[in-house]
Each structure stands twice: as C-alpha cells, then as structure tokens.
Structure 1
Amino acid sequence: MSGRVANEYRPILTDFLNPRQLYILETIVNRYEGVSFQTFGGFPSAELKRAVAFPDYFVPKADDYNITAFQIDYPSKFATLSHGQILGSIMGSGIDRDVIGDIVTDGLNWQFMCETEMADYVQTQVDRIGKIKIKLKQIQPEDIIVPVDESEEVTTTVASLRVDALVSEGFHISRHHAKELIEGGMIRINWEDAGRPDLEISIQDIISVRGFGRLVVKDIAGTTKKGKIRIVLKVYNRNK
C-alpha cells in the first residue's frame, strides 16, 4: 500500500481496520519517506477506523474516509438488540466484516459505521436483526452516539505474553479457567477465535472474553529484575 502511494503519488484508502492492523500499517508506512497516514472511524473515539495513506501534498478531510453512519430503527418497546445480533445479521447478509466499523449504543438507540461505497447495498440487504424487522436510516455525523469510555488502565506484570496469562491477569481468574474459556471458544483475539492458550499477544491486540469484557494491550514496557514482562492493559467491564 505504502509502495503504491510512493510510486503512484496518490492517496489510498483502506477498509475498516482494528487497532492491531493499524499498528502494523503504521510501522510499514514509517519506512517510506514522503508517505504519511491518518485514520478516522466516523467519530473521534472510534475503535475501528479507515486509514488514508497519502503523499506529502495531500491533506485528508473527514469526507475522504467515505464513512456512512446508520441508525437502526426497530420496535424498541417490544424488542432488544445486542452488538452480536447486529453484527451477525449484517455478516449473514453477505457483507464482509471489514466493511463495517464501530457498532454503538446509548442503551436504547443503536448505530453503526459503514463504508460509503457499500452503504446502498447494506441499506437494501439488511432489513432484519435476527427475527426483528428493522429499517436502516442514514444519519449525519453530528447525530452519531459517542460512547462513554468506561475502561480502566492497568499496569501489571506477567510471566509470558500468552493469551491465557493476560486473560488471567486482566480479569483476575486462574490460568486454568482462562484455558477452559479459550478451549470453549469463549475468547477472541482481534475478532478471531483465539484457538489455543499459548498464542502470544502483541501491542494493540484486542482480547474479547465472553461474560467478562475486553482487554486491549496498550504497551509492552520491558521486564522487571525478576524477569517478568511489564504490560499496560486497557480493561473494559471487568468483574471485580
């Protein structure tokens, strides 16, 4: 991507990327002189973002990210929605995950970000969330729900960067319990099944644990005198 920007001397827009993918993209872009990149996800605190890699002459604006925001109109007096239901129904309509950005709610209203290139298709294809009849309505940027950041930043140490070690430390559960959750398919890393407990985690990886919450690895900050690894985690919805 960065090579294309440098060779073709024009901006290039990505799909929605998660924080780990954005971190990798940043390391690649930094290798190229005269190429920069910026990101936007529809609102300032968005987690999933589109990136524009661009030559020095170009200054990206919000419109350059081609993001459309949808409000989900549904019978809120008689039905409830969830993040998983919404994402599952969208993807069940044949729409790729990286076409969709953050899904946000204020507890009653639900919205999601979408690539403008696919907005018309999404609007015509998605008319149900599960069994609930819905209608998608395009909204203006100023009407987007901005979620409140209720995360807690924690600096701690772990013996290794294995996913079971981080889940154990982040959610105050035993390593054995963490392994059971992984083997039961309850843990995802960057929206993919963790698969095995010895998988090593990197900076900006997102670990989602069903029933507990999420961890984001913000920094890996060296080792202690006893050889433990010092890490900084952002923890969401931890059971205390």
Structure 2
Amino acid sequence: MKQLFQHFSKDEKEFVEQMIDLCQQVDTTYSYRLTRFLNPRQNQIAASIAAHFQLVYFSSQEELETEFSRGIIAPDYYQLDVAHFELAVVEVLYPRKYHEVTHSQILGTLLHRLGIKREYVGDILVGEDQTFVVLDRKFLPLLQSEVAKIGRTPVSWKEREWEVVSKLKKQEAQQKQILVSSLRLDKLISVAFQLSRTSASKLIEARQVKLDYQPIAQAGHEVDIGQLISVRGYGRVCINELVGYSKQGKLKLEIEVIRK
C-alpha cells in the first residue's frame, strides 16, 4: 500500500486514505460505495485508486456536466443505476426583476441554515435567467421546507430534470497568450489578472489562492502546465500549454481565464 501513496502529494494523503477505505469496504461487502462531492482532481484520484483495487469507478460527471461530481466505487459486476448517485438538481426561484442572489449567498445559506458540510453541495450554477443547485438528495426535503429566504430575498425551490444543467449558459473562458520569465505562482497570477507582484503575493500569503483546489501559501511555488489556479475574488486561470519562447527567453504560455 505504501507505493500507492508515492503517486500523490502530502496534502492529498487524507483523501487518498478515505478512498482506500471505501475500496476496502467494497471488497469486504461486495456492494458499491458512494463518494461525497469531489473536485476534478479528487475525481481522478478516486478513479485511479479504484483501478488499483481492480474495482470499477463511475463518475456522475459522465451523466451530469458539472465541475463537482460524485463517484461510485463498485465490484466489476455492478450495473450502473444513475439513481445511486443520489443527486438532486434544484432551481432557485425568486423575483429576478427586483433581486439578485449570488453564488456565495446561496452557499452560505445552505451551509448555515441547513447545518450541512460543503461536501454535500455540488455545483451552484448562476445563469442569466435561471439558477440551479446540485446537492445530495437526502437534503432536498429539508431545503424545501426550511429555506424560504436568501438574505432578504424570498425564494422557493423546485426539483428539475438533470438535462436543464446542460442547457444553462456556462461562464465563458477567455483564451490568451502571455509572456512570463518563470512559472512562479505569483508571476502567473500577476500577469493573468493584471495585478502587481506585491498584490499577487499578498493574496497567496493570505491563503486566498488554491492550486488544483488545494490551498497554497508559497508565492514562489512553481506551477506545472495543466494546473488550475483559483484566486478568491478574481477568478481562475488554467495553464494550458507552453507555446514556445520569446527572443528574450521568456516563456510564451497559452492560458484560459475565467473572471469572477
């Protein structure tokens, strides 16, 4: 089992242990196990650990196009039933003409009013005309009966078919090329969001930055191609590709930016 941990960072050790435990439960009980909501990196880890145990892994992402997903770890003879993901897609209904409800307001209300952990709430999708929440189905009755306001805005909740999520207009990413002297985290944030290096460093030191969904506090950390940087209050940037080098020897990168 030790060799399994060599493939993951120290920060991922606790999650890896949780997935190993789920796999061992499947081996012992011959029945499937359902994960909490996972970010894309955790989803990859869960799938690789399941494969190590020669078990099958299904992600709800294959059925429902969301960033956060739930996984099913099961014996190889298991036949997928999407109901086993135990997901509910719920529309937040409120008078849009007079009110605006934000992602953070919805999340804060769900966590505090329902008293649930973040891991039981998946994506919160805020569109121009509709807003949806994906969450663990067992909390749906509580949500509908207990949450009648978000802030001062009156709301109601209506379960919808999963297909509505795919029709919702997603936030558009901006593709662009940048020049940087290195792949230092602070430099990338500075150029991507047009901030000073000092401002970028302060955000990192204040733990407002995540790299592949993990908090990071080292401004000089070297970022790898393909990694995702999230900056609270600004948005996210993915380092897609090293295109080449400038005449001055700087790195020419293709990045994708989604602003807050």
Change (3 A) 1:169 1:36: farther
Where do 5+ consecutive residues of structure 2 fail to align? 1-21
Structure 2 counterpart of 1:82, which letter? T
- What is the match of residue 39 of structure 1? 59
Q: Please show how residues 218-237 of structure 1 align to structure 2 within 5 Å.
A: 234-237=256-259
| Cα distance in 2 for residues equivalent to 1:137 and 1:146 | 16
Change (3 A) 1:175 1:16: same
| Cα distance in 2 for residues equivalent to 1:133 and 1:80 | 11
- What is the match of residue 71 of structure 2? 51
Q: Aligned Cα RMSD in Å?
A: 3.5
- Give, in angstroms, the shift of residue 43 of structure 1: 5.6
Change (3 A) 1:205 1:89: farther
Q: Does 1:7 align with 2:28?
A: yes
Contact 2:240–2:256 (CA<8 Å) still a contact in 1? Answer: yes
Higher helix share: 2
| Cα distance in 2 for residues equivalent to 1:217 and 1:126 | 39
Where do 5+ consecutive residues of structure 1 fail to align? none
Higher strand share: 1
Q: Does 1:113 align with 2:134?
A: yes
| Cα distance in 2 for residues equivalent to 1:48 and 1:41 | 8
Give CA-to-partner distance per residue, 1:94-127, whole Å, 9 cap, x none: 1211111111122132111011122222222322
Give CA-to-partner distance per residue, 1:129-162, whole Å, 9 cap, x none: 1221211111222333534352246787977765
Q: Give the 3-state SS of the residue equivalent to 2:37 in structure 1.
A: strand
Which of 45, 65, 69 is the aligned partner of 2:89? 69
Give CA-to-partner distance per residue, 1:150-201, whole Å, 9 cap, x none: 2246787977765434423543544333112224554345667544535676
- What is the match of residue 181 of structure 1? 203
Structure 2 counterpart of 1:97, which letter? R
1 or 2 for the larger relative contact order (CA 8 Å, sep ≥6)? 1
Q: Does 1:134 align with 2:155?
A: yes
- Give, in angstroms, the shift of residue 23 of structure 1: 2.1
| Cα distance in 1 for residues equivalent to 2:255 and 2:29 | 39
Change (3 A) 1:143 1:26: closer
Aligned residues: 233
- What is the match of residue 45 of structure 2? 24
| Cα distance in 2 for residues equivalent to 1:26 and 1:178 | 34
| Cα distance in 1 for residues equivalent to 2:138 and 2:69 | 15
Q: Does 1:212 align with 2:238?
A: no
Task: Tell me the TM-score normalized by structure 2.
Answer: 0.72
Change (3 A) 1:108 1:36: same
Structure 2 counterpart of 1:236, which letter? I
Identity across the alignment (%): 27
Contact 1:212–1:237 (CA<8 Å) still a contact in 2? Answer: yes
Change (3 A) 1:127 1:234: same
